Chains A and B, each alone.
Chain A
Amino acid sequence: MGLEREEYLRLDNKARELRKLIIDTVVWAGSGHVGGALSSIDILTLLYYKYMNIDVDNPGWEDRDRFILSKGHIGVGLAPVLADKGFFSKELLETYNHTGSSLGMHLDKNKVVGLDASTGSLGHGLPLSLGLGLSARLKGQSFKTYCLMGDGECDEGSVWEAAMAISHYKLTSVIPIVDRNRCMIDGRTSDVMTLEPFADKWRSFGFEVLEVDGHDLHSLSDAIETARMASVKPAVIIANTKKGCGVEFMTDDYRYHYAGFDVDKAEECRVEIDRYHEMRING
């Protein structure tokens, strides 16, 4: 299926802008979880610029789709998206991590307009999403709840407690997406704690598994489309990604889980991002 060329180019260009805005924000913040932000940004782009039914002028709209950033440490990836959408001004990003700023490493929903939940402690997002989904069903609402998790995060038992319950309740309105970048703070996920057979774990918990290239907007879009249509069995999207995607020297290197850049390095990142996206649109 995939995306129409025009829409593909629009989304790819947005992802490129956001990648650069992430780098800018890391510079303003002094440092940040840049690797995981860059691995997630194509997913965020599709959700916020194609799929999610939200209203920037009415951020508290009860029937809006929800996005739960379970991998809460990539606030530096989500805040640029929320600013770009217009929930708050981009100038605010310049205060990121500064003392007293409303924007910090892990975003606070009571301070950040457009944010659906405060997260940061891993393994919390899927239970929150389950609660949102069950409450929507009880109230007769039809919104979707997208929950973005890290793969390392899936070491947490609470992820599987919630997965079991989502399956039990056949709660297809909750769409878990795993950013499978295969890196965590202390190394490769395969070295720190084996996740494989990862897809089978989800299958055995009662999920339809949609495994895709998390940087291919076409197949990622198809997976989201399929997950949204699920009506009996919940679907999980396993997005195979690369940590630091878009910048060669960071790509697939777990050490860039968290990093800071000076002005020169940041410029190198921007050039890299252009190179990466040129390559992507030209095949």
Chain B
Amino acid sequence: MGGLNYTMLDTAKLSTAELYGKTLTDLAEDHPEIVGLTADLAKSTKIGVLGEKFPERLFNLGIAEQNLFGTAAGMALNGLVPFVSTFAIFTTMRALDQVHTDICYQNLNVKMIATHAGLSFGQAGSTHHCTEDLSIMRAMANCKVIAPADGMETALAVRAAYETPGPVYIRINRGFDQKVYDNMDYGFEIGKAVELHEGTDLTIIACGSAVWSAREAANVLEQVDGIRARVLDMHTIKPLDKEAVLSAVHDTRRIITVEDHNIVGGLGSAVAEVMAESGKACAFKRLGVPDTFSIIGLHEDLMAHYGYDINGILKTARELMGADFEEDNDWDDEI
């Protein structure tokens, strides 16, 4: 992992997006085929850092996202490895036809690093929130979908994306995430969940900024309630770590998913698919944005409002521990 020497101190100083910019610039130093593209968001997405070092390798295409992703595809057709950054909502909706047809269908080596995902741009409102991208990108064949938990994991994901041929979508936030990881040596691997807290009573599966809340909640559950919750950082939504989900079903029989995303189509849905197809009974609850356009507010307030902050997770975990699904053979009262 040469060139990726970040300390706790750095992550305390640098936001997630800033770490992305720094990681990309470090990678670009060693790999001349890396280029960066953006659509008037060089500063906001921090991809501009690349341009400070390699001005000829950063392309700012103006406010034209369709052209942005088409151009990236064209560059990849000629052997470059484009990293493209704009807001998540513009990546996955404004330019989806280009992302689908030019990048994913052609299976090109384009890395889409989308920022301001989920409700992280809280006060900007639904025109700039993005609570649909995991659902949309999960449906794109050939594409890997990653939601890193913090800046450290973002750095690792960006490096892994470079090393993985083909389209990769990484969604990060505006950049004010709580720090989950203290070092880079925990064995990050695309498609492999990280167990952050051991437990056999229930499993909390989270991605992105929800990972920190999930781990904090698990600590409280252990100390206050004596509940042992397993916490999985499911940073890769696709390909999903099915084995980790099935182990959670088998070992804990209770699963809560937490994501900064609509509960429709994202992490919760992906976990539900694996669970349902396993045929094993499991108490299950999805936390996230409840299929609505969000109110505005600070990111942390919005997560609390929709019940997927620490308190929301605690409440759901306690309810789920009280539910007695396994012993209940009478289905009539549930219809």
Contacts and interface: CB of A to CB of B under 8 A. Distances in A.
A129 B57 CA distance: 17
A119 B35 CA distance: 24
A120 B101 CA distance: 9
Given A116-B77, A135-B75, A139-B78, A128 B102 contact: yes
A136 B79 CA distance: 10
A123 B77 CA distance: 17
B56 A165 contact: no
B66 A132 contact: no
A127 B70 contact: yes
Contact of A117 (B35, B77, B79): B77
Pick from B67, B78, B101 the residue with the most CB of A within 10 Å. Answer: B67
B74 A128 contact: yes
Contact of A164 (B59, B64, B72, B97): B64
Interface string A109-130: 1100000111111011011111
Nearest to B107: A110
Interface in B256-279: none
A279 interface: no
B188 interface: no
Interface in B58-100: 59, 61-62, 64, 66-67, 69-80, 82, 97-98
Interface in A156-206: 157-158, 161-162, 164-165, 168
A71 B30 CA distance: 38
B291 to A, nearest CB: 29
Contacts of A161: 61-62, 64, 66-67
A119 B102 CA distance: 8
A118 B106 contact: yes
Nearest to B76: A131
B105 interface: yes
Given A118-B106, A124-B98, A138-B57, A132 B67 contact: no
A124 B106 CA distance: 13
Interface SS of A by simple majority: helix
B71 A165 contact: yes
A134 B64 contact: no
A62 interface: yes
Interface string A215-253: 000000000000000000000000000000000000000
A130 B102 CA distance: 13
Contact of A127 (B79, B98, B105): B98
Contacts of A131: 70-78, 82
B70 A135 contact: no
B101 A124 contact: yes
A158 B70 contact: yes
Contacts of B73: 117, 127-128, 131
Nearest to B106: A118
B134 to A, nearest CB: 23
Interface string A132-161: 111110110100000000000000011001
A162 to B, nearest CB: 5
Given A118-B106, A120-B101, A135 B66 contact: no
Contacts of A164: 62, 64
A234 to B, nearest CB: 15
A222 to B, nearest CB: 28
Contacts of A124: 70, 97-98, 101-102
B71 A110 contact: no
A128 B70 contact: yes
A168 B79 CA distance: 23
Contact of A158 (B59, B66, B105): B66
Interface of A: 62, 66, 108-110, 116-121, 123-124, 126-136, 138-139, 141, 157-158, 161-162, 164-165, 168
7 contacts: A118-B106, A130-B71, A132-B74, A134-B59, A158-B64, A161-B62, A164-B64
Interface of B: 35, 56-57, 59, 61-62, 64, 66-67, 69-80, 82, 97-98, 101-102, 105-107
Given A135-B80, A162-B70, A164-B64, 12 more contacts: A117-B74, A117-B106, A118-B106, A120-B101, A130-B71, A132-B75, A135-B77, A135-B79, A139-B80, A158-B64, A164-B62, A165-B64
